Amino acid sequence: MLMRTDPFREMDRIVQQLSGTSGTWSKPSVMPMDAYRDGDVYVIAFDLPGVDREAIDIDVERNMLKVRAERRPAGKSDGVQMELSERPLGVFSRQVMLADTLDTERIEADYDAGVLTLRIPIAERAKPRKISIGGTDDRKQISG
């Protein structure tokens, strides 16, 4: 049997349950994320602990990245009586507006240890490049 030793955590859980903050398809919960640039790649990492790989949906339309995931309760037999349930269940979603400088055609996704990591390359047209100066060294002479 589990003992509840943190009354503040328990109050937070009760408030979450009463306020209906567990995600639904019509009102999903927000998933935490980190975003950073690593050289010529933009990386976005989403925390999705306990979510099956098959329950994650990633879409890109124009520059809008949409990630949705669902975490369902674990299957329990009829004789199981829940003593404590703190892990959030339901639908999680996040929308991220991507810059035009990212190559959305070459996004790579990886899911490991409950973290969904997207790697988005910086578009070639957005990378710094040298511009050569054209022209000739010939000068027209003016005769008078």
**Residue type for position 132:** S
Residue pair 109/44 in contact (Cβ under 8 Å)? The answer is no
Strands (E) located in the chain: 29-30, 33-38, 41-47, 56-61, 64-71, 90-97, 108-112, 115-121
Span 41-83, pLDDT tens digits: 999 999 998 899 999 999 999 889 999 999 887 777 778 887 7
Span 25-37, pLDDT tens digits: 566 777 889 999 9
- pTM beyond cutoff 0.85: no
CB atoms within 10 A of CB 67: 22
Q: How far apart are CA 76 and CA 83, in angstroms?
A: 13
